[in-house]
Amino acid sequence: MTNTLHRFGSAESFRDDYVIFAIASKGTNDSDSLPKLRRFLEIAAEYNPVNLGDARHGGALRPSKDLVPTAHWNRDIKPDFKAVIDGLDTPTTCAAVFDNKIAAEDFVKRIKEENLGMSINISTSIDGAEQCCHYAGIPRHSVGYSLGFEGKVDKLPSSQVMALSTMCGHGMVSHSLAKKMVDFVKEGRRTPEQACSYMARFCSCGVFNPSRGKRLLEEAVQQGAKSV
């Protein structure tokens, strides 16, 4: 089970979204897991991820208490992978996010060869996860399905907003923030890259995918232009 299970969208929409986790089992193999988790992140950095994170400190884009609100619109939006790796100080869930299948497959194969002795979870479309496992020469252990939303779904936000906000499985990217970013990009007030960096900073475990977010925002602009 993973908080990324409920990312909103069709299977095709996850073509640029591969989240790979490493986690130790509490009381079983967590006592010596810290160097292994750090190694997981170090290897991930070699395969050009779009985000890295740990559940205690966040991702490669983080908020700051030392800046005034207006500074956030002009701050550096380059992810800091080194800060994530160096900041890992306690056993927790670590994640690497990739925006292409080749990188994800190569990384999964490499992690299998490293044999770190921890549980590895792949979160993407079922077909995408199957292909990663096949490339690494391992059978799929299990699978988790999201059944989507039921009930009075007419009260839900738009599909664009849902796709963006659910990229933080802990619900730290609110629907209102996602909608505001969609509107800002449509109005030309912010670039898709800037909007994604703002949302990513709220994701407390670092699994927000800025590449997928950028694509979703660009698609929202294109759809808006066609409807005018």
The residue range of the domain holding 131 is 3-227
The first and second tokens of residue 227, run together, are 């409807």
186 class by beta-carbon count within 10 Å (0-12 exposed, 13-18 middle, 19+ buried) = middle
Q: How far apart are CA 99 and CA 17, in angstroms?
A: 5
Nearest to 159 by CA among 220, 208, 203: 220
pTM: 0.92
What confidence score (pLDDT) does residue 77 get? Answer: 84
Is 72's pLDDT higher than 70? no
pLDDT in tens, 26-51: 878 778 899 999 999 999 999 999 99
| 170/73: higher pLDDT | 170
pLDDT in tens, 106-122: 999 999 999 998 999 99
Place of tokens 């890992």: 88
Average pLDDT over the chain reads 90
Nearest to 106 by CA among 60, 48, 51, 38: 48
Domain count, the chain: 1
Is 228's pLDDT higher than 60? no
Is 146's pLDDT higher than 50? yes
pLDDT in tens, 163-221: 999 999 888 999 999 999 999 999 999 999 999 999 999 998 899 999 999 999 999 99
Q: How many residues does the chain have?
A: 228
The first and second tokens of residue 190, run together, are 């912010």
